[in-house]
Amino acid sequence: MSHDRPEAGEDSLVFAQEAGDPGSPERAAWTILVVDDEPDVYAATCMAMRGVEILGRPLHFLHAESSAQAYDLLRADPDVAVILLDVVMESESAGLDLVARIRNELQLHKPRIILRTGQPGYAPEMQAIRDYDINDYRIKSELTRTRLYTVLTSALRGYQTLSAVEATRNDLEYLLKAQTELLAANTMPAFAVGLLERLAGLYGLPPHTVFCSDGRRVHEAEDQRRRVVAALGRYADWSWRRLDSLGAEPEVRAIELAFSTRRTVTSPCGIAVYLPSRTGADAVAFLGADDLPATHDPRVFDMFVQNTTVAADGVRLVERLRDAAYVDGLTRLPNRSALAETIDAALKTPPDAPQRLLLIDVDQFSEINETFGDRIGDALLRGVAQRLMAQADASVRVARVANDTFAAFGPRDLLVPAEWAKRLDEPFDVEDLQIGLSASFGGVELVSDCVSGGEVIKMGYSALKRAKQTGHRSVAFYSHEVATEIKERTRLLHGLRAAFDQQRLFLMYQPQVEARSGRTVGLEALMRWRSDDGRLVPPDRFIPIAEQSGLIKDLGAWAMRSAIHRAAALRDAGHPLRMAVNVSMSQLLVPGFEIMVAEALADGGLPAELLEIEITESVAMQSPDIVLPRLAALKQLGVCVAIDDFGTGYSSLSSLEKLAPERLKIDRSFVMGLDADTGGGSLAEMIIELGRALGLKVIAEGVETPTQRQRLIELGCDELQGYLFSPPLPIESLGEWLAKHGEGFAL
Ligand code: C2E
Ligand code: CA
Ligand code: CA
C-alpha cells in the first residue's frame, strides 16, 4: 500500500512496508501461495475458490512446484498471506524444511501456513507445528470447497490481526524515534512544529495540525493565556495567535475542551490530544479529522502522549536554560546576547525596511538608585521595561542590554527617539513614590557593512556616550562616515609612523625668487611621503594626522635638521640660499624647541640668518603668550620668521608689531585673483602696502602665470614663489635647476 510517510526528519526514518494492511483499498486481493509438486492440486484449488471473496477481498493464487521455487517466490514477494503447503514433495520432510527456512531464514512470521498431505495417517510432530507457527494441517481430500473456505478464512483472519499488530508496532517505533529527535529541539516552537509533522507523518497525510500551549511564558511575552505555538497546513495562519482570539471554530472548542477536561477529545472535526506536563505547562496537539485514518489505534495515541510529555518537559528544561542565557532576569526582556543575535539575523537576511538600533539610557539612574535603594530602583527598571514594551510594535525588539540601558531594534520609522522619550514622560508610581525619569538615546542605522550584532551594539554605546556628554535628554547617532574617517586616519597614522621609522620621508625644495631680478634668494622645504604602493601622500593629508597624534614633533625636528644640513651643503656649493622650514603649532609648543633649532644650526654649520621658519597666521595669532616668547628666542638666535598664508587670519596691527616677522607670505588664494582685470587682488595689494608700512618684506606664493608675476611686480611685492618658476624639486634636480636659473629666472 502507498503508506509512504513523509520523511519528517533525516533519512534515518525508514518504514517497513505495511503489506496487506487491513482496509487498504489498493491492495485488493489476498495472495495465497500453493506449494505442490502436482500441478493438478494447484488447478483444483484455484477452481474451488474461483470468485470467492474472504473478509471482503478477492483471492489471488500463486503456484510453486518445488520448495526451492517457493522459497525464491517468497523471498521476492513476502506479501503472501497464506501458504498452502504440500508436506511431502522432493523428500519426506521437504515441506517442513521449507517452513523452517521461511520462518528462520526469510524471517517471515506473518504468512499463515496450512500443511496439506496426500497420505492420511502421516502427521508431523506437534513440536514442529508449535515451533514453526503452523496454522492447520489437512488431508488433501478433506479439503472440499467449503472446508477450504473455512480454513482460509481463519488463516486470513490471523494474518489480518498480525498485520495490524505489526503496523502498530511500526507506528510505535516511529513515534519513539520521533520523540528522540524531538528532544534535540531546543525551543518549544521548534519542538511543536517537529511534533506536528511527525504526528501527521504517522498517517502519511498532509498535516493540518495545531500545537497549543497553556499559559506560561511561551516566548518573551509574559502572557498567561493559551497560545498556538505552531500550526501547519490549513491552520498555518493560527501560528502565534492566542487561542481566545481564534473565534468559535469547532477545532478551538475541541482544544479548549481538552485543556479543561485534561483528556484527549475526539470530535467530528478532529482529535485534540491532551499532553500533560510535569512542569505545569500543559499542551494540546490537534490533528484535523481528515488526517485520521478510520482505523487509528488508540494505543498509539496513548504511547504518543506519554512519550511526548517526557520530550516536551525536556524541551522546556532546555528552554529554561536558554532563558537564563538570553533573558534578563529582572525585566524578562531579551538581554544583550539575545539582542546581538537578533541583529545578526537582520544582517544576514536584511528585512525590507531599513533597520535601526536605539540604545535608551535612563539619565542619572545610579543617583536615583542610591537615593531610594535597590528595591525601588529595580521596580523602576521594570516599569521602564513595561512602558517600552507596551507601545512597541511587533516588529520592534525591546531588550535590556545593561543595568539602566535598554534597547529597541526594528524598522527605522518606528524608532524615532523623541517618540520613545515621550513614553517615559509620565512619572512612575513606585510604592508610595512618584519618580520622574528622562532618557538619552544613542542610535545606529543598520548598514550592510556592519559586521555583527555585537559590533552594532558597541556603535550604539559610542553614540550614547556622545549623547550623554551633551547632558540629559539628548540624542546622538552613530556616524558611519566619521567611523570610516577615523579608521582611515588610524591606518594612515600607522603607515606614516612606519614610513618615518624606515626613513621613507623626504624633503623637496621650492625656489623663491627676487621679484625684479628673478634671482633665487631662498628655498622652501616641503615634506613628502611616498607610501608603500609608490604613491605620494599629500602633506595636507598627513600633516594634520601627524599633528593630532603628536608625531609631528619627531617629523618636524627631522625636517628642521635635514633642511639645515641641506642649506649648509648648498652654501658650501656656492648657493648661499635662505632655507624656509614650516613649523606647526604643536612643534612650537614642544619645550626646548629653540634649543633644538640652535643645536641643529650649530651641528650643520649654518648661519642662523639663512634659516627662516614659516608659521601660519592663525598659529601666530592664536596664543600670543606662548608663541611670542618662542619666536623672540628664535629671533634672538638670528633666525628669520615668515607669516605663512597671510591674509587668511585676523592679525591685528599691534600683534604684528610685537611679532616683528621678517616676511609676510601672501596666501595663494589672493594671488589667484590677480589674473582678472576687475580690481581683483586688492587684498594682495593691501598686504603689500601693510608690509611696506611696517617695514616687512612680502613674498607671494602660488604664482602660476606671467600676469600674476607682472601685477605683483607692479604692486611692489618683493619675492615670488610658485609653479611659474618651479614646482618643489627633489634634491637630485635642485642643483641643475639652480645652475640654470639661480642667477636670474628668464621667462
Ligand atoms: P604651505 O606651507 O602653504 O605650502 C605651500 C604649498 O603650495 C605646497 O604644497 C606647495 O607645493 C604648493 N605650491 C607651491 N607653488 C604652487 C603653485 O604655483 N600652485 C599651486 N597650486 N600650489 C603651489 P604642499 O607641498 O602640498 O604642502 C602643503 C602644506 O603642507 C603646506 O602648505 C604646509 O602647511 C604643510 N607642510 C608641508 N611640509 C611641511 C613641513 O615640513 N612641516 C610642516 N609643519 N608643515 C608642512
Ligand atoms: Ca609654507
Ligand atoms: Ca601657504
Q: Annotate 251-262 with three-state secondary structure.
A: HHHHHHHHHHHC
Cα of 583 to ligand 1 centre, how many Å? 12
Q: Identify the nearest ligand to the CA of 617 by its number.
A: 3
Tell me if 189 CB under 6 Å of ligand 1. Answer: no
Which residue, 553, 632, 633, is CA-closest to 585?
553
Cα of 643 to ligand 3 centre, how many Å? 9
pLDDT digits (tens, 9 = 90+) for 396-407: 999 999 999 999
Cα-based distances in Å from 705 to 493, 523, 612, 708? 36, 20, 26, 5
pLDDT the model gives residue 244 = 83
pLDDT digits (tens, 9 = 90+) for 225-282: 787 877 877 888 887 788 888 887 888 898 889 888 888 888 888 888 888 776 667 7
β 433-435/405-411 pair status: unpaired
Residue 66 CA to residue 371 CA, distance in Å, equals: 100
CB environment 49-72: b (16+ within 10 A), e (fewer): beeeebeebebebbbbbbbeebbe
Cα of 662 to ligand 3 centre, how many Å? 16
Mean pLDDT of 18-34: 60
* Residue keyed to cell 593630532: 548
Tell me if 666 CB under 6 Å of ligand 1. Answer: no
Count other Cβ atoms within 10 Å, centred on residue 260.
10
pLDDT the model gives residue 575 = 95
pLDDT the model gives residue 307 = 67
Q: Tell me the sheet residues that pair with 640.
A: 612
Instruction: Output the furthest CA–CA distance in the chain (Å, rounded).
Output: 152
Tell me if 117 CB under 6 Å of ligand 1. Answer: no
Which amino acid would we find at residue 673? G
Q: Above 60 in pLDDT, residue 9? A: no
Greatest mean pLDDT range, 109-118, 390-399, 455-464: 455-464
Retrieve residue 682's grid coordinates: 586688492
Tell me if 728 CB under 6 Å of ligand 1. Answer: yes
pLDDT the model gives residue 295 = 53
pLDDT digits (tens, 9 = 90+) for 98-132: 988 998 898 888 899 988 877 665 655 666 677 77
pLDDT the model gives residue 20 = 37
* Residue keyed to cell 516566548: 219
Cα-based distances in Å from 253 to 241, 246, 273? 15, 10, 13
What phi, psi does 163 have (nearest 5°)? -65, -45
pLDDT digits (tens, 9 = 90+) for 411-455: 999 999 999 999 998 999 988 889 999 999 999 999 887 889 999
Ion ligand 2, residue ranges at CB < 5 A: 582, 614, 644
Which residue, 250, 284, 283, 281, is CA-closest to 267?
250
- Runs of H (alpha helix) within 233-284: 250-261
Tell me if 526 CB under 6 Å of ligand 1. Answer: yes
Given a contact cutoff of 8 angstroms between Cβ atoms, the answer to whether 359 and 441 are in contact is yes
Mean pLDDT of 193-214: 68
Burial of 480 (0-12, 13-18, 19+ CB in 10 A): middle
Residue 334 CA to residue 704 CA, distance in Å, equals: 66
Cα-based distances in Å from 60 to 102, 110, 158, 620? 20, 17, 18, 114
* Residue keyed to cell 517615559: 424
Please, which pLDDT band fits residue 10 given cuts at 50, 70 and 90? very low
Tell me if 702 CB under 6 Å of ligand 1. Answer: yes
Mean pLDDT of the chain: 84
Closest ligand 1 atom, residue 704 Cα:
18
Where on the phi/psi map is residue 674: left (φ > 0), alpha (ψ -120 to 50), or beta?
A: alpha
Please, which pLDDT band fits residue 183 given cuts at 50, 70 and 90? low
User: Which uninterrupted H or E stretch holds 565?
Assistant: helix 552-572
State whether the Cα torsion 685-691-694-695 is positive or negative: negative
Residue 233 CA to residue 236 CA, distance in Å, equals: 5
DSSP character string of 61-81: EEEESSHHHHHHHHHH-----
Count other Cβ atoms within 10 Å, centred on residue 739.
12
Please, which pLDDT band fits residue 620 given cuts at 50, 70 and 90? confident
Model pTM score: 0.51
Residue closest via CA to ligand 1's atom 37 equals 526
Please, which pLDDT band fits residue 211 given cuts at 50, 70 and 90? confident
pLDDT digits (tens, 9 = 90+) for 521-537: 999 999 999 988 888 99
Cα of 485 to ligand 2 centre, how many Å? 26
Q: Above 80 in pLDDT, residue 733? A: yes
pLDDT the model gives residue 40 = 87
Residue closest via CA to ligand 1's atom 22 equals 702
Residue closest via CA to ligand 1's atom 6 equals 702
Cα of 553 to ligand 1 centre, how many Å? 18
What phi, psi does 357 have (nearest 5°)? -110, 130
State whether the Cα torsion 88-90-92-95 is positive or negative: negative
Q: Above 90 in pLDDT, residue 88? A: no
β 57-64/283-288 pair status: unpaired
pLDDT digits (tens, 9 = 90+) for 650-686: 777 888 888 899 999 999 999 988 886 655 568 899 9
Tell me if 511 CB under 6 Å of ligand 1. Answer: no
pLDDT digits (tens, 9 = 90+) for 198-207: 766 666 655 5
Residue closest via CA to ligand 1's atom 16 equals 702
β 475-477/505-514 pair status: unpaired
Cα of 745 to ligand 3 centre, how many Å? 22
pLDDT digits (tens, 9 = 90+) for 586-616: 888 888 999 999 999 999 999 999 999 999 9
Cα of 629 to ligand 1 centre, how many Å? 26
User: Collapsing DSSP states into helix, strand and coil, what is residue 284?
Assistant: strand
Residue 615 CA to residue 608 CA, distance in Å, equals: 17
221 DSSP 8-state letter = S
pLDDT digits (tens, 9 = 90+) for 476-506: 999 888 888 888 888 999 999 999 999 999 9
Residue 341 CA to residue 329 CA, distance in Å, equals: 18
Residue 644 CA to residue 647 CA, distance in Å, equals: 9
Tell me if 536 CB under 6 Å of ligand 1. Answer: no
Burial of 515 (0-12, 13-18, 19+ CB in 10 A): buried
Residue 287 CA to residue 234 CA, distance in Å, equals: 11
Q: Tell me the sheet residues that pair with 334.
A: 327
State whether the Cα torsion 16-19-24-27 is positive or negative: positive
Q: Tell me the sheet residues that pair with 242.
A: 227
Count other Cβ atoms within 10 Å, centred on residue 144.
10
Count other Cβ atoms within 10 Å, centred on residue 286.
28
Cα-based distances in Å from 600 to 562, 570, 588? 9, 16, 15
pLDDT the model gives residue 25 = 40
Residue closest via CA to ligand 1's atom 33 equals 582
Within 8 A by CB and 6+ apart from 324, the residues are: none
Q: Above 90 in pLDDT, residue 344? A: yes
Ion ligand 3, residue ranges at CB < 5 A: 644-645
User: Collapsing DSSP states into helix, strand and coil, what is residue 116?
Assistant: strand
Tell me if 539 CB under 6 Å of ligand 1. Answer: yes
* Residue keyed to cell 482570539: 245
Tell me if 704 CB under 6 Å of ligand 1. Answer: yes
Q: Tell me the sheet residues that pair with 138.
A: 116
Q: Tell me the sheet residues that pair with 720.
A: 513, 700
CA dihedral 156, 160, 162, 167 (to 10 degrees): 150
Closest ligand 1 atom, residue 645 Cα:
3
Tell me if 545 CB under 6 Å of ligand 1. Answer: no
Cα of 644 to ligand 1 centre, how many Å? 10
Q: Above 50 in pLDDT, residue 469? A: yes
Q: Above 90 in pLDDT, residue 728? A: yes
Please, which pLDDT band fits residue 220 given cuts at 50, 70 and 90? very low
CA atoms within 13 Å, Cβ hemisphere of 584:
21
Retrieve residue 661's grid coordinates: 616677522
pLDDT the model gives residue 204 = 60
Retrieve residue 385's grid coordinates: 521595561
pLDDT the model gives residue 7 = 35
pLDDT digits (tens, 9 = 90+) for 551-563: 999 999 999 999 9
* Residue keyed to cell 531588550: 399
Retrieve residue 335's grid coordinates: 538581554
Given a contact cutoff of 8 angstroms between Cβ atoms, the answer to whether 264 and 272 are in contact is yes
Cα-based distances in Å from 685 to 326, 446, 745? 73, 54, 24
pLDDT the model gives residue 290 = 66
